[in-house]
Amino acid sequence: MSNDKVGAVLVVGGGISGMQSSLDLADAGFKVYLIDKLPSIGGVMSQLDKTFPTNDCAMCIMAPKLVGTGRHHNIEVISNTEIESIEGEAGNFNVNLVRRPRRINEEKCTGCGVCGAKCPVEAIDEYNWGLTRRGATFIRYPQSVPLKFMIDKEKCIGCGICQEECKAEAVEYDQEEQKFDLNVGSIVLSPGYSMFDPSLKTEYGYGRYKNVVSSMEFERFLSATGPFAGTVMRPSDGDIPEKVAFLQCVGSRDSQAGSEYCSSVCCMFAMKEAIIAQEHSEGLKSHIFFMDLRAFGKEFDDYYTRAQEEHKIKFTRCRVAEVREVPETNNLIIKYVEDGEVKEEEFNMVVLSTGFRPPENVKEFAETLGIDLNKYDFCSTGVFSPLETSREGVYVSGVFNGPKDIPDTVAQASGAAAKASSIISSERGKMITPKEYPPERDVLGEDPRIGVFICHCGINIGGVVNVPDVVEYAKTLPNVEHAEHNLYTCSEDTQKGIKEKIVEHNLNRVIVASCTPRTHEPLFRSTTKEGGLNPYLFEMANIRDQCSWVHMHDADNATKKAKDLVRMAVAKSRLLEPLYKLELNVFQSGLVIGGGLSGMTAALEMAKQGFEVHLVEREKELGGNLRNIYHVLSEKGEDPQKMLKEIIEKVKNDDKIKLHLETTVKSIEGFMGSFTTELSDDTKIEHGVVIVATGGQEYKPTEYLYREDSRVLTQMDLEGKLAKDEIKPNSVVMIQCVGSRIEERPYCSRICCADAIKNALKIKEKNPDAQIIVLYKDIRSYGFREDYYREAADKGVRFIRYDDENKPEVTKEGDDLVVSINDPILGEHIKIKPEYVVLSAATLPQPDNEELAKMLKIPLSKDKFFLEAHMKLRPVDFATEGVFLCGLAHSPKFIDESISQACGAVSRACTILSDEIMELEPTISEIIDENCDGCAYCIDPCPFNALTLIEYMRNGNVKKTVERNEAACKGCGVCMATCPKRGVMVKGFTLDQISAMIGAALEVV
């Protein structure tokens, strides 16, 4: 049976989700085919300027993943491609695909861009949402992967200019649609989403009024690479707006628009845009009109607070009735109702926070794949199966199964990768064919013999820089044995030529002067290696992106600069040394700390991947918080207790899982690949990775008479009593945000709104006449949970808002419980005497997180949850390599989210566990013991805790020195810039090499 399985995965959609899935799978030893219907990958994230809540530059944090995906030897990126049909079953699918013609030969195109620049057609630029224009020959965005141009046949007039201009002879007008098939073991779907068309909400005037724009368009306004280069301007006249209004829930939470669900990210998105707009344009004032402010993610409420207090952004709680234009000024008047009063306000510009819709043509897509959709046409998944589509072997990630933000998407993408690989784990490594290289020539002791290859890049370099002149100059430089110029140095035939020249001239250094090493260094290193040299004996000079392209009108000086850059590269290359990848032994097993749902899921998934795993739980029983959950909000009506039993059974019966109950972790030593852990029962275990799944706990309130009156319950108490039929309430008041969103605990506990709704519906189910009032600050029933909010309201559950100035009070009058509250709509003080008061208590971090954090050298957030490596793109990783995170230990979250994250953590862990030996880049720091005097100044500045002070005996004396952990070091070089003794250096960027470059830069020619 396993013989039929295929060790390859098809990933559909190359946004951040598809890229993450692909990278995880490829790093874990599987072949990946990543298809995208667009000509380049990158998805929507490539169009973002900044990302919340850190306001990171989206391109800066995403580009490494883009480039990494594009050049990973196990990933084949297939653009312009869609699925036609699928046959077969989980483990062995045959997928028929169709590829639209690019009309430019991908093998030949170097991405130089001359064709696009000369194209006489001006077409709408979709990447900038139609706000700028591009040629019919185009790339989607400057950092596109693959960096290959495409001819848009719809727009092309067929003038033939691009073919005349293209020196690489890559233009092929006669390319046709191409059908092909792929054999894969599993499929990950991450086709993304489309945006709601705001012109359908005619009352807001989008499409009629120029200064009404969508939030995605506004994002391009904010971007340095957008139409206005980052300065916010009005589309009507280019003026910088003084007052900008953001209207929330456009096409979300709206039954008229057919999308009753909440799009989950728009509140944060709008706040981010409002803040960034103010930062980009001084004097600009942002004003957000919203219904509920849904800042439910990790540290999102802090962001909300900063938006109000630091950035003075105005927030108004209302639904805007209408937007109308003042024809003379193109300003816009917003009409809204606040506190029962109709108000109007004038703005220079209006941004509509448009909601998420399923991807275009989703019904056909689902039919082709044979998967079910939910009632909103998103991919249907279950609470306990958030990654599985209805078809076995086909998994889902990203917005396709529900609106979500980037970190949740990235965690889910990793999770889907784990699922997709676990069913073919027996085939790990089988579809991967490592490249064969000739044996490396030993160049030790030889004088440098340098070959310099200078690229014309068609006319990109040659049109400005006098390339033959630079070649002649290069020949005069010391140690240069050979110099030549090439039309395209990266072309297949030049690559072959370089290899021949290495042999012919007995070269031991190779320099290519062309474009940027950020994209091309790996290619030329590989060529150098194919020529029988160590790949690190290669150096690059960037004479295109940083010379010919930026000094186009100054040919003489550009040529001079190109000579300088070549001379600098020659100077450095003389000092290059062969470097060898480091090898790290890996214990191919894991440790999972915490036996709740997340920990058990992680353990099971890791076992399915074929690795032994130790599951440590401090209590007698497995299950954690799930033991107290009896029902969930779901169309599918899953029974949590039944699921729990099944999961525990599976854990107990899996012989790859070593269960340690009533046990805690005493100490953990070691690093990625080889940890040694001692447990409280003195067991010692060796393992390659750690997954932290220690969970959280419900706050036990000290307020609202909780400990004093047995009729005051928490939601968890209530859920248990309802499930066991201990009570059948006639009247209940629920109070939200008890212990959350308060001064000492400013974060939102995320799950309590939906929990309150869930329990309210449960009460209504048992007793339809029950009176239920929910006192809340914002109802944060994000995503499809919004349906249940509406259902509860429809069934008569009353929702009354309170704010921090008017918190509810719970007192006793005789034997009665009394809740007093100001009703903001009626504007009066009301008193309720309910049978029960139910408190939606906060989710707290475990009190002993600090202890574990110290043991693992991992940080905690200010709210004392564990802090991941990067809030946006590394949600389940720690900065300390080999340690991963999931579940409530990360922050409060729902069951499906915990499962996604747990699977995600396993996927990340598998990138380490997949091989007995892990290869590490050699360009990291190295301690030079004879120079190191053990001053240890380098230790604090090291961002990765990779350095430790040690002592050893030398010639009868204690010698202090620093030890570098090769598994942790990333080669940034901060240590080297700190060391006073030249006791540490980073290979490939040594002091001598950099000094030599400076010296060469200043030599007079």
* Contacting other proteins within 220-239 (CB under 8 A): 223-225, 229-230
Contact with other proteins (CB under 8 A) among 6, 61, 170, 332? 61
Residue from the set 152, 914, 973, 987 that interacts with other proteins by CB under 8 A: 973
CB contact burial 257-268 (16+ within 10 A = b; e otherwise): bebbbbbbbbbb
Amino acid at 258: G
- Evaluate whether 906 touches 913 at the Cβ level (below 8 Å): no
Choose the binding region for other proteins from 612-620, 637-645, 676-684, 978-986 (rule: CB under 8 A): 978-986
The backbone region for 652, taken as left when phi is positive above 0, alpha when psi lies in -120 to 50, beta otherwise, is alpha
Rule CB under 8 A: say whether 995 interacts with other proteins. Answer: yes
What separation in angstroms does the CA of 70 have from each of 35, 42, 98, 148, 516?
Answer: 12, 10, 21, 12, 15
55 versus 178: smaller Cβ distance to other proteins: 55
User: Does residue 850 bind other proteins (CB under 8 A)?
Assistant: no
b/e map 61-72, b = 16+ CB within 10 Å:
bbbebbbbbbbb
**923 interacts with other proteins by CB under 8 A:** yes
CB of 975 to other proteins, least distance (A): 9
List C-alpha distances in Å: 155 to 132, 148, 639.
15, 18, 55
Q: Is 731 in the site for other proteins (CB under 8 A)?
A: no
Q: Which is nearer to other proteins, 435 or 553 (CB)?
A: 553
Q: Of 432, 523, 949, 972, which lies in the binding site for other proteins, with binding defined by CB under 8 A?
A: 972
Structure tokens at 551: 């000094």
Closest to 304 (Cα-Cα) out of 318, 294, 316, 319:
294
With CB under 8 A as the contact rule, which of the stretches 197-205, 268-276, 354-362, 512-520 interacts with other proteins? 512-520
Q: Does 991 bind other proteins (CB under 8 A)?
A: yes
Q: Say whether 708 sits in a helix, a strand or coil.
A: coil
Q: Closest approach of Cβ 112 to other proteins, in Å?
A: 10
Cα–Cα distance for residue pair 370/169, rounded to 1 Å: 42
Binding residues among 1-60 for other proteins as defined by CB under 8 A = 49, 54-60
Q: What is the rounded CA–CA span in Å between residue 757 and residue 780?
A: 10
Identify which range of 5-13, 172-180, 553-561, 636-644 contacts other proteins by CB under 8 A. 553-561
Among 69, 380, 542, 588, binds other proteins (CB under 8 A): 542
Is residue 302 near other proteins by the rule CB under 8 A? no
What span, in angstroms and rounded, lies between the C-alpha atoms of 154 and 770?
62
- Least gap, CB of 109 to other proteins (angstroms): 15
Q: Is 970 in the site for other proteins (CB under 8 A)?
A: yes
Instruction: Give whole-number Cα distances, 454 to 469, 483, 641, 994, in Å.
Output: 11, 8, 68, 22
Crossing angle for the helix pair 406-422 and 16-27, nearest 10 degrees?
40
940 near other proteins, judged by CB under 8 A:
yes
H-helix segments, 310-405: 362-369
- Of residues 143 and 263, the one with the C-beta less far from other proteins: 143
User: Which residues, numbered 949-968, are part of the site for other proteins (CB under 8 A)?
Assistant: none
279 or 915, CB closer to other proteins? 279
Cis peptide before 146 (omega within 30 of 0): yes
> Stretches 86-94, 510-518, 624-632, 956-964: which one binds other proteins (CB under 8 A)?
510-518
Contact flag: residue 576 with other proteins (CB under 8 A): no
Nearer to other proteins, 63 or 793 (CB): 63
Is 512:543 a contact under the CB 8 Å cutoff? no
41 vs 558, which CB is nearer to other proteins?
Answer: 558
Q: Which is nearer to other proteins, 184 or 985 (CB)?
A: 985
Residues 645-664 contacting other proteins, CB under 8 A? none
End-to-end CA distance of the chain: 70
Q: Residue 118 CB, nearest distance to other proteins (Å)? A: 13
Supply the minimum distance, in Å, between the C-beta of residue 878 and other proteins. Answer: 11
Candidate ranges 86-94, 173-181, 208-216, 218-226; the one touching other proteins (CB under 8 A): 218-226
Kind and range of the H or E run holding 161: helix 161-165
Give the binding-site size for other proteins (rule: CB under 8 A): 71
Helix (H, G, I), strand (E, B) or coil at 745: strand
Distance CA 137, CA 125 (A): 11
For the record, the structure tokens of 429 come out as: 């490594």
- Binding flag, residue 937, other proteins (CB under 8 A): yes
Contact characters 458-497, other proteins, x per CB under 8 A: ----------------------------------------
Task: Give the separation between CA 939 and CA 176, rounded to whole angstroms.
Answer: 59
- Region binding other proteins by CB under 8 A among candidate stretches 444-452, 649-657, 737-745, 980-988: 980-988
Identify which of residues 173 and 944 has a Cβ nearer to other proteins in the complex.
944
* Whether 484 contacts 494, CB under 8 Å: no
Find the binding residues for other proteins in span 874-913 (CB under 8 A): 879
307 binds other proteins (CB under 8 A): no
Q: How far is the CB of 168 from other proteins (least distance, A)?
A: 17
| Shortest distance in whole angstroms from residue 106 CB to other proteins | 19
SS (H, E, C) 643-704: HHHHHHHHHHHCCCEEEECCCCEEEEEEECCEEEEEECCCCEEEECEEEECCCEEECCCCCC
> Smaller CB distance to other proteins: residue 135 or 696?
135
Q: Residue 922 Cβ, how far from other proteins at the closest point, in Å?
A: 13
Figure out which of the listed residues 551, 608, 890, 908 binds other proteins, where binding follows CB under 8 A.
551
Q: Is 546 in the site for other proteins (CB under 8 A)?
A: yes
How is 516-583 classified by DSSP, letter by letter? -HHHHHHHHHHHHHHTTS-TTSEEEEE-IIIIITT-TT-HHHHHHHHHHHHHHHHHHHHT------EE
When asked if residue 825 is in the footprint of other proteins (CB under 8 A), the reply is: no
CB-count burial class (<10 Å; 0-12, 13-18, 19+) for 396:
buried
Indicate which single residue of 557, 585, 676, 680 sits in contact with other proteins (rule: CB under 8 A).
557
Q: What is the smallest separation between the CB atom of 541 and other proteins, expressed in angstroms? A: 10
Interface residue with other proteins, options 120, 158, 207, 980 (CB under 8 A): 980
Of 108 and 518, the one with the shorter C-beta distance to other proteins is 518
Instruction: Compute CA distances 858 → 214, 516, 852, whole Å.
Output: 40, 35, 8
DSSP run (H or E) holding 999: helix 991-1002
Separation CA 346–CA 326 (nearest Å): 9
DSSP helix/strand/coil, 348: coil
Residue 359 or 517: the one with the smaller Cβ distance to other proteins is: 517
Contact between 978 and other proteins by CB under 8 A: the answer reads yes
Q: Decide: is 553 part of the binding site for other proteins (CB under 8 A).
A: yes
In the bound state with other proteins, the residue whose beta carbon lies nearer, of 156 and 935, is 935
Q: How far is the CB of 225 from other proteins (least distance, A)?
A: 5
Residue 427 tokens read as 């085939």
Should residue 536 be labelled a site residue for other proteins when binding is judged by CB under 8 A? no
Of the CA atoms within 13 Å of residue 441, those in its CB half-sphere come to 17
Cα 819 to Cα 32: distance, rounded to the nearest angstrom: 59
Q: CB of residue 672 vs other proteins: minimum separation in angstroms?
A: 16
| Residue selected from 171, 565, 856, 883 as contacting other proteins according to rule CB under 8 A | 565
Distance, CA of 687 to CA of 669 (rounded, Å): 10
Stretch that binds other proteins, among 270-278, 395-403, 539-547, 652-660 (CB under 8 A): 539-547
Q: Which of residues 119-178 bind other proteins (CB under 8 A)?
A: 142-143
